[in-house]
Amino acid sequence: MSIPDPSEIRRGARDVLPLVPAIAGFGLVVGVAAGNAGFTIPQAIGLSVFVFAGASQLAAIELVRDGAPFLVVVVTVVVINLRMMMYSASISSYFRDHAERWRAALAYLLTDQAYALSISHYRENEPADTRAYYLGVAFPLWAVWQTCTIVGIVAGANIPDSWGITFAVPLVFLALLVPAMKDRESTAAAVVSGTVAAAGAGLPLNLGLLAGAGCGLLAAVVAGDVA
């Protein structure tokens, strides 16, 4: 199979550029949290490379800091990342014709941001080679994330509170959410899932997030039927 289209890679990189500052801040937050929890630099890097999922990394770091059992940490990370199954089911048809090694690599790079930008692009443009745009979006996110988590754990307490890097966490998801609310179904899903997830924030194993996702899907179906 031919190499990915360079022009589509560049387009993906341009589209993801506005999200990079928030992703960088998010990565710094995770790096600082890892350092404060007692992670060594190799441990923090390993967590970012092998897990590569901001929300679940933060949850895992907090649980490790609090002395939670290993099984609880693993189950929590799995539960938080279950949303990736929904993303995969939604986007998989666009990669069906690519070799298995490509699909494996693209799956590893899957994030909320890579999914949201790519699925929107595919629905509007139907590119011949879907790998290229996805790589243009996903790989820069991966590189920035790894770099900033390292910077966060090395710099640690030297990063001043005035930078407000903790605001980067909700900012990342708001930047994806608002443009996606284009119709009755997506708006209902966003409002309901956000409300339920916030209300269930104190549930064990971050089950509030999973409950929010399920209720959001149900709200979208109901809104579609009403329309």
pLDDT, tens digit, 9 for 90 and up, residues 94-137: 998 888 899 999 999 999 889 989 998 998 888 888 899 999 99
Nearest Cα residue to 149 out of 20, 44, 37: 44
Question: To the nearest 10°, the Cα dihedral for 134, 100, 123, 114?
Answer: -30
Q: Give the mean pLDDT of the chain.
A: 82
* pLDDT given for residue 94 in this prediction: 92
What angle, 0 to 180 degrees and rounded to 10, lies between the N-to-C axes of helices 83-91 and 112-125?
A: 20
Q: Determine the average pLDDT of the residues in 55-68.
A: 84
Cα distance between residue 51 and residue 171, in whole Å: 21
* pLDDT given for residue 141 in this prediction: 95
Q: Hey, which of 122-131, 144-153, 181-190, 195-204 has the most confident mean pLDDT? A: 144-153
* pLDDT given for residue 23 in this prediction: 87
Task: List Cβ<8 Å contacts ≥24 apart for 119-128.
Answer: 119/90, 119/91, 119/94, 120/179, 120/180, 121/12, 121/15, 122/91, 122/94, 127/5, 127/8, 128/5
Per the confidence metrics, is the pTM higher than 0.85? Answer: no
Cα distance between residue 148 and residue 92, in whole Å: 29
* pLDDT given for residue 104 in this prediction: 92
